Amino acid sequence: MIRLVGVLALITFVAALGLGFVYQKTAPKIEQQRQITDELAMRTALPEAACGVFVERQADSLVYYEGYRYADTTGFVGYVVRATGRGYSSTIETMVGVDPYGRIAGLKITHEQETPGLGTRIEEVKSTKTVLDAIKELIGQGRPPRVAIDLADSSGRICLEVGIADPNACACVDTLVASEDTAGVLAIVPKAFCMAPEDSAVYLCNPPLAFEVAKKVMQKLREQRTPWFLQQFIGKRKASLLVVAEKTDTYIQAITGATISSAAVTSSIREAIARLEKAIGGFKEEKP
């Protein structure tokens, strides 16, 4: 019996030693990957700082980040804070971007293990693609995805449909728009987008107008890639972060069958923004 206990103790010791060694070796890589994930989430949460820099701050035990448009910490565009809430079957973590006036600029869920098909719908992106579109793409006859935008100029409101000719070039456009590089946008837009000849003649010969078109298109694409549940948060302030059952433009509509997950995300973001507001001494007031 004593011998058996000794053997079990030895096996336990060796296993623990092995696990400790593996953890020691992998911990730095795990931490590095976590930092990369967090940085990408911050750039999604605060798109205007996507090409700039984030500066870590701490106040009242809250860690948050100030986002700047440029790497030299000029062009302040807002804050990023982490929100954490208990969902139905996991802890849900979200990176939330807030502009200087307290409006949500963007958000990205960084961790959740909710029920598949229910709570996981907090990260579900709605697709407008039809079965016919999918078949055409499969046989190479699909037309480039189209994005409809509207903008205002001296002649009034303009509606324009833009085709996405090169998705890789679009990523460059997004970077150039975030850094306000009008010349760079003008150079790459003809490759990234396809327009009707008459539209190209108007928009691509006018750098400021071309920049506005690119900005609107990238904003629309970003909205399309944002999970439909999270899209409701963008542009809202803390006071509107309440979960309701019915469809609403004022508050947050819960996901059918996943009310707990919906409420966890919403309440955690509301609490995080409240703590951020206190830590920075309040948001700016918009001028009427």
Residue 24, pLDDT above cutoff 80? no
Q: For residues 28-51, give the mean pLDDT.
A: 82
Q: For residues 51-76, give the mean pLDDT.
A: 93
51 or 108, which is more confident? 108
CA-wise closest residue to 210 among 153, 147, 144? 153
pLDDT at residue number 1:
63
Joined together, the tokens standing for residue 121 give 């719908």
CB 153 within 8 A of CB 208: no
In angstroms, the CA 185 to CA 34 distance is 32
- Would you state the torsion angle of the CA atoms of residues 10, 11, 16, 17, taken in this order, to the nearest 10 degrees? 60
pLDDT digits (tens, 9 = 90+) for 117-156: 889 999 998 765 555 555 555 555 555 677 888 777 666 6
Confidence of residue 28 (pLDDT cuts 50, 70, 90): low
Confidence of residue 235 (pLDDT cuts 50, 70, 90): very high
In angstroms, the CA 217 to CA 177 distance is 10
In angstroms, the CA 274 to CA 2 distance is 60
What residues does CATH 3.30.2220 cover in the chain? Answer: 131-225
Q: For residues 164-187, give the mean pLDDT.
A: 84
What's the chain's average pLDDT?
84
Helix segments in 46-130, DSSP class H: none
Q: For residues 108-123, give the mean pLDDT.
A: 93
In angstroms, the CA 38 to CA 55 distance is 13
pLDDT at residue number 195:
82
pLDDT at residue number 286:
79
Please say whether the structural domain 131-225 has been given the CATH code 3.30.2220.
yes
In angstroms, the CA 263 to CA 255 distance is 9
CB 74 within 8 A of CB 101: no
Identify the helix (H) or strand (E) that includes residue 153: strand 146-153
Contacts of 117 (CB under 8 A, 6+ apart): none
pTM given for the model: 0.78
Ranges 25-34, 37-46, 87-96, 249-258: which has the least confidence: 25-34
Q: For residues 50-77, give the mean pLDDT.
A: 93
